[in-house]
Amino acid sequence: MRVTPLLTSRKVLTFTYPANLETQITPETLPTTEPTNPQITYTVAQEDLVGLSLTVFKRVEVAILNASGQFITAGTLYWKMMKNGSPVVSSSSSVSANYYYRLGCYFYNVAVGDVLGIKLWSSVADSNWDIKTYWTNVTRVTPLDKPRNLYNVAVAAATGSNGSLTWYLDDNFYRVFSAAFTILLWTPATTYGMFRVSRGDNIYSNQFEITKAATRPGLQGLNYVPSQIVFRGLRID
């Protein structure tokens, strides 16, 4: 005789995304040597995180910072991603004359209180930066500890753009998908949970990407992200 119910109540996990925080300033000339302090900084706050309608067993936060500006003379842009005063990664890229750049920096596994930043400098004295943008995604969500298994799972269509979500149906099987779908039995992966977002986890984890063009490139780091997952927990022990 089973005393513990086989199934939990029906649960609805809804994702609410805060707006991107974008600031445009009067163009600020880039130094020609590495600055002491980052020009762009954000301190991760609770209200910056993706809102979930349920308290989940596991979640990992990804922060996305963008920096944008222009080179008047052709030169090289240098940058360094910083987290709590320590370097994460640094690199450089050449930029043509009169071209704009958009640098996307992806910080994987951040927490409330972390101070994130980007240092920018240049090989030429007439380049600048004038836009900064910040937002977060959530990845590797595992809704339940015990029971970990999920039954009769209905996944709503993803929202956003730029690639697809990678859904992990168990530790060894996954599918890349953005449309709505249903699964009868789902065992979230031990490492990846139910899904991984693309930029910031599946690719560019604690890394960057840069786009350069004669007109200002759009935001770097827009992902397809989950909107809602409906399920019941299933006990198989």
Domain-located, residue 114: yes
Encode pLDDT of 207-233 as tens digits: 999 999 999 999 999 999 999 999 999
Question: Is 163 within the bounds of a domain?
Answer: no
Q: With 0.75 as the threshold, say if the pTM is over it.
A: yes
Phi/psi of residue 48, each to 5°? -80, -20
**Could you tell me if residue 206 is inside a domain?**
yes
- Domain assignment present for residue 182? The answer is no
- For 47, the domain range is 15-142+197-228
Q: Is 29 contained in some domain?
A: yes
Residue 180 lies in a domain: no
Which of 171-180, 196-205, 216-225, 227-236 is predicted least confidently? 171-180
**Does 91 fall in a domain?**
yes
164 located within any domain: no
Beta bridge partners of residue 68, listed in sequence order: 102, 131
The 10s digit of each residue's pLDDT in 59-117 is 999 999 999 999 999 999 999 999 999 999 999 999 999 999 999 999 999 999 999 99
Give how many domains the chain has, as a whole number: 1
Q: What is the CATH number of the domain that holds 53?
A: 2.60.120
CA distance 50 to 225: 10
Quick one: how many helices (H) and strands (E) in the chain?
Answer: 0, 19
**DSSP code of 125?**
T
